[in-house]
Amino acid sequence: MSGTTASILRAALLVFSTVVLFVTQFAPLASAQQRTSQDQAYRQKMNENAIHLLGGSIYSTSLHMADDLARALRDGYKMRILPVRAEGGTGNVRDILYLLGVDMGLVNVDVLEAAKDKPNFKGLKRRIAYITRLHTEELHLISDGRIASISDLKGKVVAFHDKSSLVSGSLVLEALGVKPARSETMPMHEAAVRIGRGEVDAVICVTGKPFGDLERLMKLNPKLRLVPVDYDEALQKVYLPARFTDKDYPGLVEPGTTVQTVAVGSVLAVFNWSNKTDRYWRLYRFVNAFFPNFDKVIAQTERHPKWSEVNLAARLPGWKRFKPAAEWIAKNRKSISTREKLKAAFDKFLTNLAPTNSDAKPLTPREREELFSQFVRWRDNARR
């Protein structure tokens, strides 16, 4: 082989080696960059319509209601609601204001009113808005017979079921001038045992009736009963009168009797985002998924019965409604009003119909609401 030929071969081998080196070193990098780009696109798709919704503790109505929304409104990548087990009370207000990734939360009205003057919540009426009023949450005062009224808690040891119960329950006690000797926070089932031991005098749970796992509670302490809470004048500015029956809580309420209590409204609260932010438009999409599909939410067989109380157009005086929600209601006020009137007429029809068949089992509030939702869907389809 001549020197010239050998030189050509060496040059060719050098070029080939360089190409192989480039392919082996940089081709995987290009492939990795492509995968990264695909992952980023997928991640954006997954997140752009995901809503984090703060509920409450494990047995709370708030967490159940949040889960109902998630199940009813999920629509693939278009709408995905992630219910979050949360502190409740002022903890939800704090997290809506400051926690990254939190979009909405269920908050009791008394908590909002009490929080507006706290140091970290200055300007709360400007910073927080509400999408809609929701259900009411009743104050459950439970003891074993040694407490006859809420005023008897003065100088006693009181347990609160969770953070939300602690805040709302303490506000009620403060309004009534009742100061316990000591307050503790613990699940009501733990409190049931400690009431039996004489370590705690009563437990307060503020949640929508009926709360879960009543059977377990009564097994832990069969002496437990609901204690009446009078609708005192000091409570009438923020709270509503309410009552429990033996149908709500067999065992906790004596057969054929009722127990008076008070209730507080709750709202779906959000940070009052500017329309120049992504978070604003994320909540805009939620409003326009939730409000038109409200019948879909309440038609669920497993949803909480408290959905029957919700009126989307109900106002919260002194607080601002989130702009997209206010605009939707203004645009659809006539149809909302028609629905409410139709619901009242439908309820009257069912009430008048009931006596015609004495053997028929009365419909529960949930069954009445589900039947009404079916009627509305049938009417809408018949018009098309």
Which tens digit of pLDDT belongs to each residue from 133-192? 999 999 999 999 989 999 999 999 999 999 999 999 999 999 999 999 999 999 999 999
Q: What is the pLDDT of residue 78?
A: 84
| Domain shared by 31 and 57, yes or no | no
- Is 297's pLDDT higher than 60? yes
| Domain shared by 226 and 294, yes or no | yes
Q: What is the CATH number of the domain that holds 173?
A: 3.40.190.10
| Domain shared by 39 and 53, yes or no | no
Backbone phi and psi for residue 118, each to the nearest 5 degrees, phi listed first = -80, 150
DSSP states of 70-97 as a string? HHHH-BTBS-EEEEE----THHHHHHHH
- What residues are paired with 265 via a beta bridge? 136
| Domain shared by 83 and 22, yes or no | no
Q: Does residue 155 come out as left (phi exceeding 0), alpha (psi in the -120 to 50 range) or beta?
A: left
Q: Which domain holds residue 219?
A: 48-383
* Span 187-205, pLDDT tens digits: 999 999 999 999 999 999 9
> What's the alpha-carbon Rg for the chain, to the nearest Å?
29
Identify whether the C-beta of residue 242 lies closer than 8 Å to the C-beta of residue 262. Answer: yes
- Of the chain, the percentage scoring pLDDT greater than 90 comes to 61
* Span 274-287, pLDDT tens digits: 999 999 999 999 99
Structure tokens at 201: 């005098």
* Span 344-353, pLDDT tens digits: 666 666 666 6
| Domain shared by 77 and 11, yes or no | no
Identify whether the C-beta of residue 240 lies closer than 8 Å to the C-beta of residue 263. Answer: yes
Give the mean pLDDT of 363-370: 62
Q: Does residue 85 come out as left (phi exceeding 0), alpha (psi in the -120 to 50 range) or beta?
A: beta
| Domain shared by 188 and 159, yes or no | yes
Q: Is the dihedral of CA 212, 213, 215, 220 positive or negative?
A: negative
pTM equals 0.77
| Domain shared by 17 and 130, yes or no | no
Q: What is the pLDDT of residue 16?
A: 58
When the pLDDT of each residue in the chain is averaged and rounded to a whole number, the result is 85
The residue assigned the tokens 């033996």 is 246
Does residue 301 or residue 64 have the better pLDDT? 64
Are β-strands 104-108 and 50-54 bridged in parallel, bridged antiparallel, or unpaired?
parallel
Does residue 38 or residue 263 have the better pLDDT? 263
At 383, the pLDDT band (50, 70, 90 cuts) reads very low
Give the mean pLDDT of 302-322: 91
| Domain shared by 112 and 29, yes or no | no
**Smallest Cα–Cα separation from 168: which of 127, 112, 105?**
112
Q: What is the pLDDT of residue 173?
A: 97
DSSP states of 106-146 as a string? EEEHHHHHHHTTSGGGTTHHHHEEEEEEEEEEEEEEEESSS
| Domain shared by 302 and 177, yes or no | yes
| Domain shared by 98 and 34, yes or no | no
Structure tokens at 39: 């992952």
At 99, the pLDDT band (50, 70, 90 cuts) reads very high
| Domain shared by 25 and 54, yes or no | no
Give the mean pLDDT of 322-346: 78
| Domain shared by 115 and 7, yes or no | no
Domain count across the chain: 2
Check residue 253 and report its DSSP letter: B
Q: How far apart are CA 162 and CA 191, in angstroms?
A: 11
